[in-house]
Structure 1
């Protein structure tokens, strides 16, 4: 069985809506493209490294349309490395409709999303979910993810779709490597799922040194 990686870009208040541009998801959201002013060379290198080893993409319909209009035309530009990868690997698309899928190597997932995603995970070693917040939240509810790559950006928006919605299942995560900060203040965090559900405790317990003020 392979691994499903969630590649997520978020603000400090965990808004993940439309980081890439003003036309990405504009309805009721005035900050489309908020990520662009915060990109720097270090963050770009982190993103490129995170995609290494990808052998399939799992995308929501909106993200697929944006990618399909962009990446097939970038194999000779500065994004040539990622473009070649994205254009080569299979693309699996979650959609309730019957969309046209012109990007080579694309296929629509079946109506039973959870089962279809499990089949994709069985078929590939490293499946990357990029953006696609509605899909991400479905995968969180179904506990169908293994890794989270999270880039936290040093802004607060106060509005917009959040990365983690109310349907997320309580889950323990393990930090897989030390956090990395870029010059513009973006912090990259890489987590893996670990067993069980979050524990609770009492911070005033005597053995924690808090009851006596230490």
Structure 2
């Protein structure tokens, strides 16, 4: 059975809205689109690229799909050419509540029940990556439909904006599967695997 990887960038206070650019997602008057850009460095870029090893499908929410589809098909000859070629040729699955046409090559709309559709994708692919897609990710968290979670946490506080765990989650154990990586500009990468059971409790006064 294949693995579902969720890859997210977040501020220290959990805001994950529009890390990439000013116009990426201005919903609710969000004014800090592109907050990740000043904190990118070679280490972050290298780790993000290496984290794509073995990726054989993309699973995206509607908004992230539209952003990617407008950008990556035109980048194969640029500095991001290797990523563009990968993304352009991979199968891409899109979660959307509305029927719509998908112009980006190799793109498929998920069925009306995303939970069922995601489970079926595990039978077709080894490593399916969900990048961004913050609204859709809430469904995956709620239904525990993921196997790996990579969080890049950046040393800034924004206060408002869509949060990583906006809708709450099912109590879940996670296991750190490799040492945390800290970039020169203070971003910290945590990579987790979902673990069995539910979080335990105890009494520290005993």
Q: Normalised by the shorter chain, which TM-score bucket?
A: over 0.9
Q: Distance in 1 between matches of 2:171 and 2:21?
A: 32
Shift >2 Å, 4+ stretches = none
Task: Report how far residue 111 of structure 1 moved.
Answer: 0.2
For 1:185 and 1:170, locate their aligned partners in 2 and report how far apart those are by CA, in whole Å: 29
Determine the structure 2 residue equivalent to 1:152.
153
Please report how far the alpha carbon of residue 165 of structure 1 lies from its aligned counterpart in structure 2 after TM superposition.
2.4
The equivalent residue for 2:19 is 19
- Count of equivalent residues: 205
Alignment partners' CA distance in 2, 1:184 and 1:107: 38
Q: Secondary structure at the match of 2:122?
A: helix
CA deviation digits over 1:10-57, x for unaligned, max 9?
000011000011111112211111000100010000100111110000
Matches within 5 A, 1:84-123: 84-123=85-124
Structure 2, unaligned runs of 5 or more: none
C-alpha distance in 2 between matches for 1:49 and 1:72: 21
What is the TM-score with the length of structure 2 in the denominator? 0.98
Q: Rg bigger for which structure?
A: 1
CA distance in 1, matches of 2:152, 2:168: 21
Taking structure 1 as the reference length, the TM-score comes to: 0.94
1:63 partnered with 2:83: no
1:51 matched residue in structure 2: 52
